[in-house]
A and B are shown apart, each in its own frame.
Chain A
Amino acid sequence: MEPAVLAQVLGPLQGLFAPQDYPNLLVGLGAPDDAAVYRLDDQRAMILTTDFFTPIVDDAYDYGAIAATNALSDVYAMGGQPLLALNLVAFPANLPVEILTQILRGMAETVRDAGAVIAGGHSIQDKEPKVGLCVVGMGHPDKLMTKAGARPDDVLVLTKPLGSGVITTCAKVNQAAPEHVAAATRWMKKLNRAAGESAMLAGVRCGTDITGFGLIGHAWEMAHASGVGLQISLGAVPFMDGAQRYADEGIFAGGTLANHNAYLAHTKFMDDMCDGDCMLLFDAQTSGGLLLAIAPEQLPVFRAEMTRRGEAWWEIGKVVAEPGSIQVV
């Protein structure tokens, strides 16, 4: 849903649950983050999240794998490890059940790759397929990555390129090259496990994952929650193969246009920037990478851990003192 609508419908709920009555709820509606976090004891915090969506690619297995990767990502974005998951399934009665078998296999193999286990689920009949997971993860109550932990001079790191929104939208009208869709699918299926683990080993305390609100939307949430500004270097931001070409064509997902409407007022661009590239910063991502704010002294460990795992990352900007601003330079 659109950011403003979400804020409108969730606002009244906050009044029902006074924070002082729930001291072990470390992250809840009061300071919305990627997942809810509940302290079990001094060493353990339970991380709880759920996510589901309609088909994003044609292949049933890949759809399931992407939906699971996306749902698991919130646990990594909080600095945790997934423990168990429940399937959430809406499926039409008139579609072959083999399709659902493939979807569920994609979800299950992804959960297994994350080191977690599928423990059950719930299914309903619906006109359009919708699948996802409810995930329980574990973290340390003092070592969480929230959106509120960014400090000036931290380095902004992104762990997947942008463009899955524009590529999958163009694919719907057969305007995306198969190799670009395939590459975008590989990125969307890629777990944020290595990035999350590397960030934890480096002691990172600020992160989020890039999904429906796009880079700018999620960056703004981080800036707002942390009381800082973020400076993003457009030239350092990675884009998926083909994304810039499709962005120049100008056909975007509804979510991307909503993000542009919602967050443009919070964002300062330089005059001569490419319109298509700027739009990609608002591109609604499915199963995007982590956006981390890493203190300079933490960066060598993060780089070493990512390198050791054969992972890519991009240093796309830095945290600045001016509260609430997103500057693109």
Chain B
Amino acid sequence: MDAGQRLTDDNFPEHPEKATLEGKNKFLGFWLFLGGETVLFATLFGTYLGLRHMNMDGPSTEELFKLPTVFLATMLLLTSSLTSVYAVLALKQNRVRTLQKWFIITLILGLAFLGLEVYEFMEYVHEGHTFTSSAFGSAFYTLVGFHGGHVAFGCLWIITLLARNWNRGITLVNAPKYYLFALYWHFVDVVWVFIFTVVYLMGKVG
């Protein structure tokens, strides 16, 4: 069978994302890539923990962070992870329109999260907490900014993926791509859970 062909309910494999060797390779390669990403963020977290009290003349974490905004951002991102799970469920049931619907909701939630983050950063800059104001500032914006950059990249990724495959149904070529995007999105979400805990909660009570 041709891997680029639209799958029907009759020939739909149990794991369309791993039904070809290319799919298997991408699946494994992406998991390994996420392993490397974990070390990347671990390095950023380590640096942040070492420098988070070095706010010099600028505001400290207790004065700076506003938990309601951050909590809202967290909820948006956690929900977007859930909607991407629904999209993957639709993938496994060969329901492409449902998949598109859930991924679009995921995208909207991701964009809303980014909007909140930009707003939050602008507030901080007003209060004198900038990238160059202190070592805390550099470490904070680098860690949280790297995460934000990952969310932004994810948004571009899913837009490209949806647009390119809008009328193509689910095939053995695009099934691994949808699946890997969802994997990436969960990873970005998990990193945020750590940022919420280590940066914001520990910043308030630490």
User: Is this pair of chains taken from one and the same complex?
Assistant: no
